[in-house]
Each structure stands twice: as C-alpha cells, then as structure tokens.
Amino acid sequence: MTDDDPDAGTAVRRDRFAGGPARGFMSSLAADQRLFAADLAVDRAHVVMLAEQGIVSDADAATILAALDNVEAAGHGALSSGEDVHEAIETAVIEHVGDVGGRMHTARSRNDEVAACIRYRLRADLLATIDVVNEVREALLDAAALHVDTVMPGYTHLQPAQPITVGHWLAGYEQALARDAERLCGVYDRVNRSPLGAAAFAGTTFDINRERTAELLGFVDPETAEPLLVDNTIDAVSGRDVLLETAGALTALAVTCSGIAEDLVLYANRGLVELDDDYASTSSIMPQKKNPDSLELVRAVAGDAAGAFQGVATTLKGLPRAYNRDLQRVGPHVWTALAKVTETLAVAGGAVTTATWDEAALETAAAEGFSTATGVADLLTQSGVPFRTAHEVVASAAEAVATGNNASGLTSGENQNDAGNAVKPLADDAVVQALDNATQDQLGQSIATLVDPDDLAAALDPTGSAASRGSRGGPAPAAVRESLDRAHSRYNENLAATRLRQDAVESATNRLDAAVNEYTSGEQDA
Ligand code: ARG
C-alpha cells in the first residue's frame, strides 16, 4: 500500500472482507471426519497418561474420559464449530463438563495431536489395503495353478514375441503385487511410531510419559511390544514423509493394477480372453459391443494416484521446520488415493480372476508371427552353431516366411550328418522349409544335419516351445509350478506379518479400553 492509494487507511477493504471467507477456508473439520475416532483414541491415551503421571487428578481424568464417551456417541456430525476436529472435540468436552475439560490439552499441542491422529488412522488404512492386495494375490495364485499348461502368446513391443503360459503371466502379476504388499508393510513400520508428546515442536515442561501413550495407542513393535516413538520433537510434528511414501507405494500399486488392466484390454481386444459381464459395459448405440470399461477406469486411476503423490510432494517441498498450516492439506491427498486405489485393486483383481481364457484362440495366437523363432535359434546353438550365427539364420528364415519367399524344395531325407548317416526327413511345412533354406545358404548344410527334425518340430510348436523354457522362473509348466510353490511361501509369510501387525493394534485397543475403564468405572461406582 502506498500513500497515493485512494483506499489507504479507509475501512473499504475491511468492510468487504470482514467476517469473510478465511474462516471456512482455514477449517478442515469436514475432511477431518476421517480422524474423528483417531482423535478420540489419542485424547483418551493422553488423559490416561496425564492422570498416571499425576499431572491431572484421577477424578478430572474420569470426568474428561466420560465426556469423550458422550462426544463419541454424538458423532462427528454433532461437532459444532472449530478449525478442525481436534479443536471441535476439545470444545465439545468443555461444553459437556465445564472448565475441567480444559485440562485435557495440558502438555500437548494440536501439532503433535494431529500427527498422532494421522499415523493412527493411516495404520488402519494401510492394513486394510494390504489385506486386499493379499486377497488378490491369493486369487491370482489359484488362477495361475489352473492355467499352468494354457499356452498363450507373450508380447514385447505389442508384437508376438515368445509363447508363454497363462499361469506364467498370472504368476508374474502376483509377484509384482507381493512387492506392493511388502512395500506397504515397510511404509507401515515407519508410520507406526508415536509423535505424541512432542507438543508444539519443542517438547514440554511437564513430566509426561511418551512411551506410555505410544503403548496405549499401539505404536509398538509388533513382535516385542516395545513402544516406538518419533523421538525428535521437531521431526515428530513436521515429518510427513510417511505420507509421501504412502502415496508413492499406492502409486506403485496402482501402476501394477494398470498393467493388469492394459494387458487384459489388449487380450480381450484380440479375442484371447472374455471379461465377465460384471466387468464390461455395453454401448448405448452399438448393439454388438462389449467394452472393457472397468479396466479402462483401473488404468486411469494410476493417474489419480500419481496426482496424489505429486500433490503431497509439491506441498511438502521446501516447507520450513516446524509446523506450517500447509501440512493440513497433505493428508486429504493420501486419504483419497487410499480409497481410490484400494477400490481399483479389488476391481482389477476381480476382472482378471473372473475372466475366461479362450484356450484355442490362445494357442493359435501363440503360433503367430514366428514367435517360436528364439527356441529354434537356441536349438541350432545347442548343435554347436554360435548363437549370433543361429540368430541370423533364423532371422532370414523369418523374413522369407513373412515375404512368402520360401518356395524352394525341401532337402528332406537325402541328408547325411557328420558321421555320414542318413538323417530323419524334415516336416513338409513352410517355416521348416524356410529354415532349411536359410541354413543351407548360410551354413552350407541342411538343418536336418544339425538338429533332430523331431526336436525342430517341438521347438516350432508353441506348447513345446513354452515347455522347453524351464529355466528358473520361466514359462515351462514345471518351472511355473515350482515358482508357485515359492510364491505361496512368500504369501504365507506376508500374511503372517500382516496378522502380527493387526493383532498388535487390536491388543492396543483393548489395552486403552482397559486403562480408560480404570477411571470411568470408578466414577460409576462413586
Ligand atoms: N488442522 C491442523 C492440521 O491438520 C491441525 C494443527 C493445527 N496447528 C496449528 N498450529 N494451527 O494440520
């Protein structure tokens, strides 16, 4: 504002903006509905600790804890006002029991309170999402076991590349989801630390017991039950990197789902698989259409998740320590991503495990585009030809097949191998003929002198081709069965790790209830 500003010093702007938009703008009360139950738990643990430490009297603690029960019963919708759920709950407690309610906020700040609420709620959300990932993994493992022998085309650059099996493809996505589950579990272990007791950011003069509130809220090592803290009080209130990595892990999960979706869109488009009607849409005008809409939406949600990650990262980037109000806008990105990605995962899992694979179409497609070429090159290499030479021989045969330039006569049965013995006749087949021509051109001998024609026929057959790639983790049915055994073990380990964490949270809930009861049941007796 300068001296020649005509409005300088007048009330004009003040009038225009008085009682203005900032109050509502600053409030997070509506979005905080997600934190309502978490805040009640954090309040209860804090009050119990204050009483145990002699910072508030047992009687005052009992009064406040009883008021919190009333606030809980009335629900988030009954909260009247406030910048956020934390302030509104405190106000409601004071409304219920008068000034004594004002003791609840002793030795804490909304800064450590909100950080504790976020971590408390996020823990439950992460466990719920991990559960869905594990359900989809189990369904994929079951589907893979059914399709260990179902041959299908494998693609690179969207072109037929090498025959694989449906079981191999399904097991590949289960393995990716295993990483997603492990990633979310790793994030969980960093979320599962208590910031409570950091107060505004610089600790407190009161003799609080941070380990105790951590224990009451289940911020404990799931194996040893040792309390876990975000030790440094500045970091405790400021650090939201756990929200960033949650958004990152959800983005990775959504990207896995988008891959499943895109593959299925492609396979359905090529007539290799049919989606269950629940996962498809019809056209409002074209009667013949069955569109893979659910999968297209799954594909799109990866964009939402990446957007949430970007929202969190750009909000946090360059924020000074300690608390800044920007932090209020970080959580909602993650809450939205959690809901959207978890729903999407269930849809992707449902679509892939209810789809019907057309085995005849898959086998035909698996033979297209000379997709067995690599196996033939391997066979020639096993006969002693250097791989690079074998690659060239098969490449020129592939070109001849593609251009129809493979008409010369078969060399068939007149061939002799190095020992001078006659070899078996080659099959009367255009591809075999092209291979024989190329071998004669480049190596000066018939392919029948190098490889057994029966082995060649097996290598050219998509089923035989997939079956021959039995290296660890490969598509051969035996290799896939072994992979599935390992995948089951990993799945069971992951499931046990998740259960352990769920049990730790559940026992903490019981511990907190029991601790609260120590005060409130006494109040009822009195
Ligand atoms: N609603 C706020 C948030 O979500 C709570 C913390 C408020 N603290 C403050 N210093 N204004 O971050």
Q: Is 201 in the pocket of ligand 1 (CB under 6 A)?
A: no
Cα–Cα dist 158/36, whole Å: 49
Active site annotation includes 283? yes
Measured in Å, residue 495 CA sits from the centre of ligand 1 at 36
Sign of the torsion angle spanned by Cα atoms 298, 363, 140, 253: negative
pLDDT value for 80? 86
pLDDT value for 1? 38
Cα–Cα dist 307/45, whole Å: 35
Adjacent-strand bridge partners of 394: none
Q: Is 114 in the pocket of ligand 1 (CB under 6 A)?
A: yes
Active site annotation includes 157? yes
User: Ligand 1 pocket check: which of 27, 79, 81, 84 to mutate, most ligand atoms within 8 Å of Cβ?
Assistant: 84
Measured in Å, residue 323 CA sits from the centre of ligand 1 at 8
Measured in Å, residue 195 CA sits from the centre of ligand 1 at 14
User: Ligand 1 pocket check: which of 325, 333, 335 to mutate, most ligand atoms within 8 Å of Cβ?
Assistant: 325
Catalytic residue among 283, 408, 489, 521: 283
pTM listed for this prediction: 0.90
Q: Is 325 in the pocket of ligand 1 (CB under 6 A)?
A: yes
Catalytic residue among 80, 157, 284, 471: 157
Adjacent-strand bridge partners of 165: 151
pLDDT value for 402? 84
- Burial class of residue 23 (count of CB atoms within 10 Å of its CB; 0-12, 13-18, 19+): exposed
What is the DSSP track for 424-451?
Answer: PPPPS-HHHHHHHHHHHHHHSS-GGGTS
pLDDT value for 164? 97
pLDDT value for 288? 82
Closest-lying ligand 1 atom to the alpha carbon of residue 83 = 1
pLDDT value for 287? 79
**pLDDT below 70 — which residues of the chain?**
1-20, 406-422, 522-526
Closest-lying ligand 1 atom to the alpha carbon of residue 331 = 4
Measured in Å, residue 326 CA sits from the centre of ligand 1 at 9
Q: Is 328 in the pocket of ligand 1 (CB under 6 A)?
A: yes
pLDDT value for 24? 85
Q: Is 243 in the pocket of ligand 1 (CB under 6 A)?
A: no
pLDDT value for 11? 55
pLDDT value for 369? 83
pLDDT value for 125? 98
pLDDT value for 422? 63
What is the DSSP track for 241-295?
Answer: HHHHHHHHHHHHHHHHHHHHHHHHHHHHHTTSEE--GGG-B--SS-TT--B-HHH
Coil vs helix vs strand at 194:
strand
Measured in Å, residue 341 CA sits from the centre of ligand 1 at 27
